[in-house]
Structure 1
Amino acid sequence: MNEHLETLTPRPLWRHFRTLCNTPRPSGHEAGIRRTLIAWAEARGLAHDLDAAGNLRLKKPATPGCEQAPGVILQGHLDMVAQANAEHPHDFTSDPIETVIADGWLHARGTTLGADNGLGVAAALAILEDDTLRHGPLEALFTVEEESSMGGALHLAEGWLEGRILLNLDSEDRGQVYIGCAGGADVVVEANLPTSAVHAEERTWRLSLTGLVGGHSGIDIHKGRGNANRLLVRVLRALEPCGVRLVDYHGGTLRNALPREAFATLVMADGEEGAARARLAALQDELRAELEGVDEGLALALEPAARAETALTPTASRMLVAALHVAPCGVERMSVAVPGVVETSNNLGVVSLEAGRLHLCALVRSLRDSACADMADRFRALFGLIGAEVRMENAYPGWTPAPESPLLTRFRELHQRLTGDAPAVRVIHAGLECGILGGKYPGLQMISFGPQIRGAHSPDERVEIDSVAEFWQLLRAMLESLAIDPLSPANA
C-alpha cells in the first residue's frame, strides 16, 4: 500500500515514511514498527539497543576523518495519534494508513496521517543510510508513547546517550526553529456517583454533538475551535428544565486532541421532547454563530434510544453537569515574556460516564510548572465538591529557551544561506520531549525543526510535500556543517 510515496522526493525519506504508514503504531503499540526498524538496522550493520522503557537507539559511526566532531542525536517518537472520522471505521492496531496526495499536500483517507512524528523518524532513518553524507558520530533515538503520556522520554535510561547535540525532528512549521516548549501534566478525575431506577414516565434519548474540527490540544488551543465536551455540557445545562438525568456520557478519545464529538444517553419526562428539540435547534444556531469562521460545522441531534434501567439521581446529574460546566478549559493565560505564545491552558480531553462511574482526563500545559500544579489543584477543589478523587499524572517539565546557543546560531546561518530567509525562532505551547531529555542529560544543546504539518492530532492532518524536501536539505546541511566545523568544545 502507499506505493505512490516512493515517487516523491527525497525518495529515501518517503520510502521510510511508507513503511511507517503501512505499519500500525498507535501509542502503546510500537512493538511492530520497532521490530521492523531493528531488522532494517541489522541488515545495514547498524548497532542498536533498547532501554527498559522500550525506546530504540540506532548508531552509526562518524565518517572517516570526522571522529572528533561532537556526537549528534536525531530524535523523534515512534507512535502516532489514532483519530478517525466516525464514518471511516479504522483499526489503528491492524490497519495501515491510506495516504492521498492533493494540491501539493499529503493527507490520509479519514484518519490521522502520522506525519507527526513519522516524518521525523523517516528523516533520521534516511540519514543513517546516506553514505554520501559527511557526519560525526550519529545516534537516532526513537521514543515510545509520546502522544499518550510522554512515557518513553520520562523513563528514558540515564547515562545511555552519548551525543552532546540533539536535533529534535518533531516540529511542524516550515521556516521556524523551536528553542523552548511548555511542560504539562494529566489531571485525572474519578468518582462513583449515585444512580436510581428510571421511572415508567421517563423516556431514554441519545444526544450527540458532532462536526467539530478538532486538532492539537497545544498548538491549536488558542484558535477558538470548539471543544465537544465543553459544548455538550452546555447543551445539557440548557436541557435541565426538561428534567434530564444522565445515563452515560462519552466525549473525546485522547487527552491531547481537541475533542471533536461527544455523546450522552439521558432520560427525561415523557412529554418534554418538543421543548427539548426546540432548545436544541436554538442552541445549534447559537453555537454555530459563536464558532463562525472557525468551527461552524457543529451539529446537534436527539434520537430515541433503548430504554435505560438506571440513571444518575437528579442531584448527582445536576452536580456533575455543573462541575463540568465550570471546569477550566482552553487558554488560561497568554505569556508576557514570550508575546503571542500561550502560557497556560487546559484541554478537557476525555470524559466518560458509565453506570455511575465518572472518568475525566484533562491535559494541562504551561511554560510555568507552578501553573500546572495550580490548575491541578483547581480541579481537585472543584471536583472534590462532588466527592471525586483527583490526581496529577505523567507530569513533565518545560524546555527553557537558550537564545544565545551556538547550535541555534549555526542553524540560523544555514537556514539563511539555503532558503534565503532567516528562520523565526519560536517557543511552542506543546510538549516536545526536549524538556524531559534536557533534564536527564543537562549538557545537551537542542533545537527542534521539521516540515509544514497542519491539522495534527485530527483526521485533517496533512503535510506540505515541498516542505519535506526543504526539511531534508536543512537536516543534511546541519549534520555536515557540524562535522566539518564543529562547535567549540566549551559550548558544544
Structure 2
Amino acid sequence: MSNTIFQLEPKLIWEQFANLNAVPRPSKNEEKVIAFMMNFGNNLGFETFKDEVGNVIIRKPATPGFVNRKMITLQSHLDMVHQKNADTEFDFDTQGIQMFVEGDWVKAKGTTLGADNGLGVATIMALLKSNDIPHPPLEALFTIDEETGMTGAFGLKGGILKGDILLNLDTEEDDEIDIGCAGGIDVTAKRHYNEKSSVHGDIGFEIKVKGLKGGHSGIEIHKGLGNANKIMNRLLYTGSKYNMRVGALQGGGLRNAIPRESWCKVNLDKTHEVAFLEQFGLVAEDIKKELKVMEPNLSIIIAPSKPSKRVMGLGAQEKLVKSIYAAHNGVYAMSASIPDLVETSNNIARVQVKEGEILINCLTRSAVETAKMDLANALKSTFELAGFEVEFKGFYPGWSPNPDSEILRITKGIYKDLFKEEPKVVACHAGLECGILGQYYPNMDMVSFGPTILGAHSPDERVSISSVQKFWKFLLKILKETPVK
C-alpha cells in the first residue's frame, strides 16, 4: 500500500481507514473486524460492547460545554463488498486492501476499495480517537452484514441505543443529504435439469463476457450499464439456433452488484461451426456498438476448448434462456413524486448452471412497497412459467422521508453556510439501514450523508480526497451545532 495515504488530510480519517482496510471484512464473516472494533473501543477506555448479533456499540462522553446537548448516534456498517477483476490475484480472507492515490482519488489495485462504508466507519473512529474536537455525547453504532441482507440492523433490538439523532454516514454524493431510501427483496429462482451425455464428435467453446464497469445496483442502476448475465443470455439465445448446448455457466455474484463478468462452456455440432461463429460475431459486435458509450471496455470472447462431457437437455436450456430474456433488468419505473429518482428496479445479479442445478439471483428494489412486490411477482411468474421454484427472502423496508425533520433543518443550514449553496435533499434508490433502525427507534431523528464515492461494489471503486475533506468539515460543524436536550 502507498504510504501517501497517511499523508492525506484529514490524517486522522485516512489513518483509521488504512488500519480498517488491513482487516478482512466480508459480509457474514465479520469476526475479525468485530474483534478489531471491540479492541479499538476498549483501548480508548470507552464503554464498548457488542449485541447478540455482532453489532458493535461504543459511547464517548461529551466534551466540556456540550454535556447538555442531544446525544448523536453515528452509524456505519463494518462489512464491505468483495469484488476483484478476473486477472487480479488477491485473497480477501487474508490480505489487506492495496490502496494507492491517483490525482484526487484513492483507489484499490484490482479490487473493491471498501470506501463503502469504510470511510464512514473510519470517520467515526477518528471522532472517537480525537481529543481536540468539541462534540455532544456520541454513540457509535457499527452494524454487520449490511451488504447481504442488513441482518445486523434487523437484529438490533429496541432499547439498546440512547441517541436522539442518528447520522448515517453511508451515502455517496457530497452535495446530498438523504432523508429516504428504497426497500428491497431477493428473488431467487432454482430448478433441476437433466444432464445429457455430449454427442461424439461435438466441438467445445468457452465464451467470456468481461470488461464491464459493474457497480452498485441501487446507486448506478439508472446509468444503462451493461449486465453480463443479460449479455451472455443474448449470446446463448443466438447459439440456440444452431443446437448449441450449455455445459456450465457462471455469471455475476453478489446480489447488490451489477454483474461485470460471465463465463460459459458450450458444445456444438461441428457441421454448424462456421455459421455459428459468423452469427456469434455479428451479435457480439451489435452488443458492443449498443453499449459503446457506457461500456467502452466490454470484451466478448469465444475460443475453442475441450467439449463438456455433460450438457443441458434442450428443453431445460430453452426455458433458462427464454426466462432470463423475459425477466426485467434495470429501471422498471421512475418516481412520479420525486424528480429523477428511480422508484423501482431489478438487478439480475447471478446466474449459475452446474451439475444439474440452475440458480438465478435477483435483487428487486423500490421506494413504494406495493410496486416492489408487483415487480417481484412479475419475475416470479416469469420464472415459474419456465419450471423454476421461486423464493422471496432478504426483505428490508424503505425509509420514508420526513421533510419536517429538525436535524434536516439544521444540516441544510450548516451546509449552505459552509459551502454557499443549497444541498440536494434527496431520497436514494439504494438500501440504507435507516428504514430498519427507524422501526425500532421511531422517535430518533435521522439523516444520511457522506463523501463522494464512485464505482461502489466494483473494482473501479474510488473516493474523492477533496470530498472527504468537505465531508469532515461538514460533520464537525454539525457536532458543534447539535441542539440542546
Q: TM-score with structure 2 length normalisation?
A: 0.98
Partner residue in 2 for 1:93: 93
Partner residue in 2 for 1:71: 71
Partner residue in 2 for 1:205: 205
Q: For each residue in 1:367-395, what CA deviation from the matched residue of structure 2 results, as whole angstroms up to 9, or x when unmatched?
A: 01112222222222111123211111110
Q: How far apart in 2 are the matches of 1:184 and 1:380?
A: 15
Cα shift at 1:154: 1.6
Q: What percentage of aligned pairs have identical amino acids?
A: 39
How many residue pairs end up in the alignment? 485
Q: For each residue in 1:150-192, what CA deviation from the matched residue of structure 2 results, as whole angstroms up to 9, or x when unmatched?
A: 1111222222111111000001101111111100011111111
- The secondary structure found in structure 2 opposite 1:380 is helix
Asked if 1:27 is matched to 2:40, the reply is: no
The answer to whether the 8 Å contact 1:456/1:462 transfers is yes
Cα shift at 1:10: 0.8
The answer to whether the 8 Å contact 1:248/1:353 transfers is yes
Cα shift at 1:405: 1.0
Partner residue in 2 for 1:169: 169
Partner residue in 1 for 2:3: 3
Amino acid at match of 2:183: G
- The secondary structure found in structure 1 opposite 2:5 is helix
Q: How far apart in 2 are the matches of 1:436 and 1:273?
A: 54
- The secondary structure found in structure 1 opposite 2:221 is coil
Superposition pairs for residues 38-437 of structure 1, below 5 Å?
38-437=38-437
Q: For each residue in 1:168-222, what CA deviation from the matched residue of structure 2 results, as whole angstroms up to 9, or x when unmatched?
A: 0001101111111100011111111122211113222211111111111011111
Amino acid at match of 2:416: Q
The answer to whether the 8 Å contact 1:105/1:463 transfers is yes
- The secondary structure found in structure 1 opposite 2:320 is helix
Q: How far apart in 1 are the matches of 2:239 and 2:46?
A: 62
- The secondary structure found in structure 1 opposite 2:241 is helix
Q: How far apart in 2 are the matches of 1:51 and 1:4?
A: 37
Amino acid at match of 2:231: L
The answer to whether the 8 Å contact 2:235/2:284 transfers is no
Cα shift at 1:269: 1.0
Amino acid at match of 1:71: M
Cα shift at 1:237: 0.6
Q: For each residue in 1:61-117, what CA deviation from the matched residue of structure 2 results, as whole angstroms up to 9, or x when unmatched?
A: 122443332111000001111111111111111111111111111111111111111
The answer to whether the 8 Å contact 1:244/1:269 transfers is yes
Amino acid at match of 2:454: R
- The secondary structure found in structure 2 opposite 1:426 is strand
Q: How far apart in 2 are the matches of 1:374 and 1:342?
A: 15
Q: How far apart in 2 are the matches of 1:134 and 1:430?
A: 32
Cα shift at 1:2: 4.3
Amino acid at match of 1:103: G
The answer to whether the 8 Å contact 2:134/2:479 transfers is yes
- The secondary structure found in structure 1 opposite 2:223 is coil
Q: For each residue in 1:231-290, what CA deviation from the matched residue of structure 2 results, as whole angstroms up to 9, or x when unmatched?
A: 110111111111012111100011101101111111121222222221222112211111
Q: TM-score with structure 1 length normalisation?
A: 0.96
Amino acid at match of 1:337: S
Cα shift at 1:306: 2.6
Greater mean alpha carbon deviation, residues 103-112 or residues 30-39 = 30-39
Cα shift at 1:14: 0.7
The answer to whether the 8 Å contact 2:266/2:307 transfers is no
Greater mean alpha carbon deviation, residues 288-297 or residues 323-332 = 288-297
Greater mean alpha carbon deviation, residues 166-175 or residues 307-316 = 307-316
